[in-house]
Amino acid sequence: MQKHLAESQLAQLKAQLQPHFLFNALNTISALMQTDVERADRLLARLADLLRASLAVGARQATALREEWKLLALYASIMQERFAGHVTLTWSASDEALNASIPAMLLQPLLENAYKHGVERSSQPVSIRIDAQRQGDGLRIEIHNTGTLQDTPGSGIGLRNCRERLALVYGDRASLTVAPTDGGVTASVTLPYEVFRA
């Protein structure tokens, strides 16, 4: 019974995440419709790709980090259109990390936060670094953006949702922290390392 309850809670948390990033993406496209119809059309096509991929991944409780990476890249390509010339992205992950199992759709809100709090609120160019590495028996994933922390660390709905999902799946063996570091802000996820098996 507890297992069914946990699965139900996970499904509910994932359902909250998906509309959240969809509305953000649609708002981005809506803003462009008034100024650049061609770019807005290109973004709609990318959003369709993102939704197809997220539906495939979101149907599972867990996925390989490699698949989650592709979703993040699709989302980032939409945001890069919106903030062209204002943000630089750097991706880094070991093969071991990319083969790891993680809760599906876990990282989307963290990258969204980097854009929302790091890019949208800055008049200066922003760098975002996404890094994943195996560390012994654990997996560490970091999303770092330059700039300052505007709100109380970890206070948003998306971050709370991610923490609840990690707690349901891993108990106290996983964590999510958001803190000022290295001239910016870093969201850091640690969880047990397990190879994803479909």
Looking at residue 127, what is its pLDDT? 95
Walk along the chain (198 residues) in steps of 10 and give the mean pLDDT of each run. 52 55 77 86 86 70 91 88 88 97 89 86 91 97 85 65 89 94 92 94
User: Alpha-carbon distance 38 to 20, whole Å?
Assistant: 25
Q: Residue 195 pairs with which residues in a beta bridge?
A: 100
pLDDT of residue 13: 47
pLDDT for res 119: 87
Q: Using an 8 Å Cβ cutoff, are 87 and 128 in contact?
A: yes
Asked if 142 and 131 touch (Cβ cutoff 8 Å), the reply is: yes
What are the tokens at 194?
């397990």
For 190, the 3-state DSSP assignment is: strand
Phi-psi region of 65 (alpha: psi -120 to 50; beta: other; left: phi over 0): alpha
Hey, what domains does the chain have and what are their CATH numbers? 2-192 (3.30.565.10)
Nearest to 162 by CA among 120, 190, 183: 190
Q: Is the separation of the CB atoms in 189 and 167 below 8 Å?
A: no
